[in-house]
Amino acid sequence: MSRETGPRCKKCRRMGEKLFLKGDKCVSDKCVLPRRMESEGTRGGGGRRRGRARKLSAYSIQLMEKQKIKAIYGVAETQFHNYFRRAAKKPNTGDALLSLLESRLDNVIYRLGFANSRPEARLLVRHGHITINGRRTDLPSYIVRPGQSVGVRDEKGLKVVKSTLTNKEPTTVPWLSLDKDNAKGTVVRLPGSEDTKEMIANVQLVVELYSK
């Protein structure tokens, strides 16, 4: 299993926009807007004027959109490719891909407000604090299906989750139902395109990239 290492803010600067990889911390005033992307060769000469960015090719733009989505959901290349293969069997590949990514257990934990970010949600799952229908699971990539409930297994995890729910701004996710008092959530339905309108990446460009 691959592991994300290094500063997350560096990824935002590389993409030239906020990817919200630190969750609520990215919304605060402490987060500095990413610097404008610099093209290769603009540092230290090479005959180019400093700060002048080269024009990106269509392939580069499509690849960058894929990298954004991978970074946001914290998935590796092989894992992302497998999600795309599953989504490609559906009528609308782009929407199906986002639906799969949104249905990941770590993302569901984050959307419910149990954690402040997806990396924090992955830790909760990997440390065995989360249950699906009452059964412990430590797989952040588990795809949660409609009707399944997500809960907290032990007192240690419950303390962390309730503290986060108390301090976190309330959010409404239409495809999830939250029982805040008992720190439980239920997947009401599959997430649709209307539930990912805030997605900063263009998933259609990713479909075009894999269609070549």
Nearest to 103 by CA among 142, 147, 152: 142
**Is the CA virtual torsion 90, 102, 154, 22 positive or negative?**
positive
Note the pLDDT tens digit of each residue in 151-177: 999 999 999 999 999 887 767 789 999
Residue 200 tokens read as 């900063």
- What does pTM read for this prediction? 0.77
Average pLDDT of span 57-65:
92
Average pLDDT of span 99-109:
96
Q: How far is CA 83 from the centre of its chain?
A: 14
Walk me through the domains of the chain, giving residue ranges and CATH numbers: 8-38+56-94+198-210 (1.10.1050.10), 104-189 (3.10.290.10)
CB 150 within 8 A of CB 135: no
* pLDDT score of 167: 85
Helix (H/G/I), strand (E/B), else coil: 138: coil
> How many other CB atoms sit within 10 Å of the CB of residue 43?
10
Nearest to 153 by CA among 137, 131, 172: 131
pLDDT level of residue 179 (50, 70, 90 thresholds): very high
* pLDDT score of 103: 97
DSSP class of residue 88 equals T
* pLDDT score of 28: 56
> How many other CB atoms sit within 10 Å of the CB of residue 134?
8
Q: How far is CA 7 from the centre of its chain?
A: 16
pLDDT level of residue 22 (50, 70, 90 thresholds): low
